[in-house]
Each structure stands twice: as structure tokens, then as C-alpha cells.
């Protein structure tokens, strides 16, 4: 699965972009304009060194031949095979034109069955659902909070979750926690509440993940870039079927190692059981 965020430019083009401005990706030399106020042809180029948001102090250094321009979603759809599953969050969630254009592109490239879409808030996710109910939707942030409290109260088994096919939750890694604490000090104390809620969710929601999996829902955690934390998720977070990472090759290697380890442990348990029966 590939996960990305998208926004709409001033001339109505959906581009692959998380931030609402260009400062983090393009550097201080970029204009103060917002993505929604910039034409596609005027988008700035990427800076030489890109910060990896979920890994404190790590950078990606652009190499010769690397693309330094923002990609449009249509360009991405043209080069990625249809069978590859996409998870796409529309950041311009209240922009009706952006909602319609996102759905139009998914329909144009026949990706209704392999694209999961959604927004931060449930209201806009339902608007996307109304445009094309056949496109799977992921659970919005506000609905996820509601489901977590319902799980803690024992009410989740009685709630309808039909229109949410995927649940993606933050995993509070060491770097992510540090980042949120900095944001709480510099921006708003609400980030303290977010960090506390995420910790509680990570510690207590294993049963909820298993419950969602039994109801046919796909559960992902984001974003895990450290190998030790990847192993911790795989070994302890039952019901989680996917991990989002900025380091897919490292994650793939960890998954292979943990799969081999699980098979060896299962073989050892089977051997011990056979020995007990024999005795």
C-alpha cells in the first residue's frame, strides 16, 4: 500500500502534497503563498535536503536525477499499476471542487477498488462517500476518537462502522512524542491532549484492533521508522495488519525477519507439545 496526502492548486490540479505551504519542502527561499493560491506552473522546486518528519534529525539528501517538482495525482496514477492499493487523505477537506476532482481521477483510472480515501473530519469523509459510495473510505480522526471511547465503555460491538473500511491510527514513537511535545510548547497545549490520548490508545486498544479485524476492517498504524519500534508493533499490537513507514525497505526486512522468527517459535512449540505427548 502507498499512502499520500493531496491538495488542490489555484488552477484546480490535485497534487501530492501534505503541507498547506512550501516552507518545509522547498525552503525559506520559497514564497509565502499557500498551495491553494499557487498555479501549477508556479510551484517551487524542492530544497536540496528534505527533513524526514517522523524521524528526528534525519534528512533525505537529494541526488542527481531525483525529481524536484511536485507530482500531480494524475501523473502518479499513470505510472503506478492499478493493483497497487492507495490510501489518500484530502487535505483540502472543505473544498468541494477538490473533493469532486479527487473522485473524478479515481474513476478515470478505474481505481475505485484499490483506493481508500478520506479526510480528517467525518463530515467531509461522508461527502466523499456520497460522490462515489463504491470507493472505500478510511476512518476520520474525530470518528476514531468516538470509536476508542466506545471501545473503552464496551459499546463498540453495538455500533455500525459499515462505511469505514480502513482504520489508520498514530503510533506514538519516541520521535513522534518529542515532536508533539515541542508543538505543544510552541503552538497549542491541545497537542498534550493528543499525545496522552495516543498513548492511551496504543496501550489499551489491542482488543479494539482485533475486534475491528474480526469485523473485516483493515487496521494500520502510522508512522514507524525505527526498526526496534517496528518489531515492537509486530510482536505486541494484535489485530494490526499494516504499518506505514518512510523506510519501506527497512520495514520489509523487519517483516521478513519477524515472519521467520514467528515460524521458528511455532515450530519449537509444536516440538515441545509432541515431546509431552510422547512422554
Q: What is the average pLDDT value for the chain, to the nearest integer?
A: 90
| Confidence at residue 193, expressed as pLDDT on a 0 to 100 scale | 79
pLDDT, tens digit (0-9, with 9 covering 90-100), for 28-75: 777 678 999 999 999 999 999 998 888 878 888 999 999 999 999 999
Report percent pLDDT > 90 for the chain. 66
Alpha-carbon distance 70 to 38, whole Å?
12
d(CA 87, CA 137): 9
pLDDT of 30 = 74
Residue range 129-187, pLDDT digits in tens: 999 999 999 999 999 989 999 999 999 999 998 889 999 888 888 887 887 777 777 77
Tell me the mean pLDDT in the region 215-232: 93
Q: Please tell me the predicted confidence (pLDDT) of residue 105.
A: 98
C-alpha closest to that of 173 among 110, 77, 247: 247
CATH fold, domain 1-137, is: TIM Barrel (3.20.20)
SS3 content of the chain, % helix, strand, coil (to 5): 50, 15, 35
Angle at 122 (CA atoms; ends 117, 126), nearest 5 degrees:
65
What pLDDT band is residue 279 in, cutting at 50, 70 and 90? low
pLDDT at 35: 95
pLDDT for the residue numbered 191: 75
Residue 246: CB atoms within 10 A of its CB come to 16
Per domain, the residue ranges of the chain are: 1-137, 157-279
pLDDT of residue 14: 98
Write out pLDDT tens, residues 185-204: 777 777 777 778 777 877 77
Amino acid at each position: 500500500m502507498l499512502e499520500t496526502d493531496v491538495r488542490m492548486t489555484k488552477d484546480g490540479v490535485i497534487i501530492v502534497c501534505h503541507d498547506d505551504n512550501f516552507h518545509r519542502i522547498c525552503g525559506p527561499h520559497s514564497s509565502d503563498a499557500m498551495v491553494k493560491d499557487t498555479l501549477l506552473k508556479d510551484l517551487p522546486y524542492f530544497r536540496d535536503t528534505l527533513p524526514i518528519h517522523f524521524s528526528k534529525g534525519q534528512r533525505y539528501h537529494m541526488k542527481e536525477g531525483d525529481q524536484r517538482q511536485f507530482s500531480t495525482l494524475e501523473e502518479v496514477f499513470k505510472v503506478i499499476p492499478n493493483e497497487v492499493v492507495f490510501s489518500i487523505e484530502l487535505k483540502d477537506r472543505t473544498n468541494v471542487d477538490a473533493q469532486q476532482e479527487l473522485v473524478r481521477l479515481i474513476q478515470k483510472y478505474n481505481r475505485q477498488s484499490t483506493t481508500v480515501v478520506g479526510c480528517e473530519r467525518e463530515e467531509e469523509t461522508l461527502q466523499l462517500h456520497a460522490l462515489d459510495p463504491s470507493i472505500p473510505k478510511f476512518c476520520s480522526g474525530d470518528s476514531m476518537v468516538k470509536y476508542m471511547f466506545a471501545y473503552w465503555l464496551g459499546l463498540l460491538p453495538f455500533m455500525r462502522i459499515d462505511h469505514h473500511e480502513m482504520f489508520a491510527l498514530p503510533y506514538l514513537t519516541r520521535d513522534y512524542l518529542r515532536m508533539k511535545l515541542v508543538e505543544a510548547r510552541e503552538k497549542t497545549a491541545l497537542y498534550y491532549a493528543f499525545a496522552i490520548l495516543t498513548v492511551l490508545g496504543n496501550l489499551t486498544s489491542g482488543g479494539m484492533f482485533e475486534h475491528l479485524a474480526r469485523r473485516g476492517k483493515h487496521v494500520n498504524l502510522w508512522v514507524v521508522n525505527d526498526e526496534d519500534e517496528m518489531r515492537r508493533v509486530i510482536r505486541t499490537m494484535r489485530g494490526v495488519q499494516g504499518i506505514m513507514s518512510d523506510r519501506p525497505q527497512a520495514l520489509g526486512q523487519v517483516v521478513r525477519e519477524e515472519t521467520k522468527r514467528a515460524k521458528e517459535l511455532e515450530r519449537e512449540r509444536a516440538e515441545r507439545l509432541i515431546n509431552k505427548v510422547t512422554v
